[in-house]
Amino acid sequence: QITLKESGPPLVKPTQTLTLTCTFSGFSLTNSLAGVGWIRQPPGKALEWLALIYWDDDKRYSPSLRTRLTITKDTSKNHVVLTLTNMDPVDTATYYCVHRVPTVRGVAFDSWGQGTLVTVSA
Amino acid sequence: SYELTQPHSVSVSPGQTATITCSGDKLGDKYAAWYQQKPGQSPVMIIYQDNERPLGIPERFSGSTSGNTATLTISGTQAMDEADYFCQAWDSSTDVIFGGGTKLTVL
């Protein structure tokens, strides 16, 4: 059974850097085709993909946020870390950690964490 | 930038068929997925690779793609299917993108 859990600060100030950690179990990020990503959802709004890291350390970012995002993995700890710099109130959202379906065809996310609400406010 | 367009809302009577569309340029050339999200819960993947259904997802959920449109069909809609539905597409050039979501009302 795959589980993912997000952790990080519930409140950050504008201009600060957000660091979120995803702790997962039930799979290994060293296995071929494995991937872990981050998706966010502002209150009452749509899902927005942020980043994805693959088993081979290939990293993909949302074009609109690429300059502010960094995703890394620690396979020994089963952690994936996302940093988002220069936070703004519009970045207020629930941030989800997700597991990529290990397939050669496309990208989709079959397991989601419970999400963590991050509020950006002075 | 690439965009996926979904109707804001769809209504269906219990037992009837609900159809939710997702439109994007040459969407049929990409891989589509669908997610169901109920209030206060994390999304659940209900369709991937255009028309594949994960284990545990009822057979009444099906997906298809053609041309510029991906379609989620819910046959014999039940009250428990009332939720927000999001489409998602991927290809190697656009990476991951989500639609704006559709609120399905069963009444």
Report residue A104's pLDDT band, with 50, 70 and 90 as the boundaries.
confident
How much is the CA Rg of chain A, to the nearest whole Å?
A: 14
Contact in structure between B58 and B75 (CB atoms under 8 Å) = no
The residue-averaged pLDDT of B74-102 equals 96
pLDDT tier at B77, thresholds 50, 70, 90: very high
Q: Does A117 touch chain B (CB under 8 A)?
A: no
CA-based nearest distance B42→chain A, Å:
6
Span A31-88, pLDDT tens digits: 999 999 999 999 999 999 999 999 999 999 999 999 999 999 999 999 999 999 999 9
Percent of chain A with pLDDT over 90: 98
Could B96 and A52 be called an inter-chain contact, meaning their C-beta atoms sit closer than 8 Å?
yes
In the prediction, which pLDDT does A30 show? 94
Q: What is the pLDDT of residue B18?
A: 98
Q: Please report residues of A whose CB lies closer than 8 A to that of B42.
A: 96, 112-115
Cα–Cα distance measured from residue A88 to residue A52, given in angstroms and rounded to the nearest whole number = 22
How many angstroms separate the most distant Cα atoms in chain B?
Answer: 40
pLDDT of residue A26: 96
**Using alpha carbons only, what angle is made at residue A112 by residues B88 and A110, rounded to the nearest 5 degrees?**
55
pLDDT higher than threshold 90 for residue A29: yes
| Spatial distance between the Cα atoms of B45 and A112, rounded to a whole number of angstroms | 9
Q: How far, in Å, CA of A60 to CA of A77, rounded?
A: 21
Does the CA dihedral B79-B8-B11-B47 come out positive or negative? negative
pLDDT on residue B92: 87
What residues of chain A lie within 8 A of the CB of B32, using their CB? 106
pLDDT at B61 over 90: yes
- What does the block give as tokens for B95? 């990476």
- Chain B residue nearest residue A59, CA to CA: B95
Report residue B84's pLDDT band, with 50, 70 and 90 as the boundaries: very high
Distance from CA of A74 to the nearest CA of B (A): 23
Nearest to A91 by CA among A44, A37, A47, A41: A41
Question: What is the reported pLDDT for B93?
Answer: 87
